[in-house]
Amino acid sequence: MITLKLDSEFLRRIDAAVKENAYQSRTEFIRASLHEKIDPKREAEVRRELESALKEIRKGIKHRKPITDEELERTREEVFNESLKKSKKDPLYGKKILEKYFGELKEDPQA
């Protein structure tokens, strides 16, 4: 751990940078800044990778075929029918799915 003394004007600039760049804290911003200074090649490489990934995401969104209401309804029916088949084979299937998403289910004392 280290302690730094910074003048108030510089600290205001750090706070502005923290907010502008959506860092969680001054510490996170300062740590990232030091990494950039110590390993600028790695930082540039990461930035290029992120920019490339963002371009691919944007391209995919731009060229994605819109989903129609009919396609959405057909998908819902397929998922429902598949779940129905599984629940017939395994009576606890529905409970397992709910627990997967919501955690362990407890018995209702008023039931």
Of residues 14 and 38, more confidently modeled: 14
Query: Which two tokens mark 3?
Result: 């302690």
- Percent of the chain scoring above 70 in pLDDT: 76
Q: CA torsion, points 71, 76, 81, 86, in degrees to nearest 10? A: 130
Q: How many CB atoms lie under 10 A from the CB of residue 29? A: 19
- Burial string for 44-66 (b: 16+ CB within 10 Å, else e) reads eeeeeeeeeeeeeeeeeeeeeee
What are 65-111's pLDDT values in tens digits?
777 888 888 888 888 777 777 777 776 766 676 667 666 656 655 65
Asked, for residue 44, whether it belongs to a domain, the answer is: yes
- What is the number of domains present in the chain? 2
Confidence of residue 17 (pLDDT cuts 50, 70, 90): very high
Task: Say what the pLDDT of residue 12 is.
Answer: 95
* Mean pLDDT within 27-42: 82
Asked, for residue 106, whether it belongs to a domain, the answer is: no
Asked, for residue 104, whether it belongs to a domain, the answer is: no
Biggest distance spanned by C-alpha atoms of the chain? 70
**Residue 66, domain extent:** 40-87
Asked, for residue 78, whether it belongs to a domain, the answer is: yes
Asked, for residue 102, whether it belongs to a domain, the answer is: no
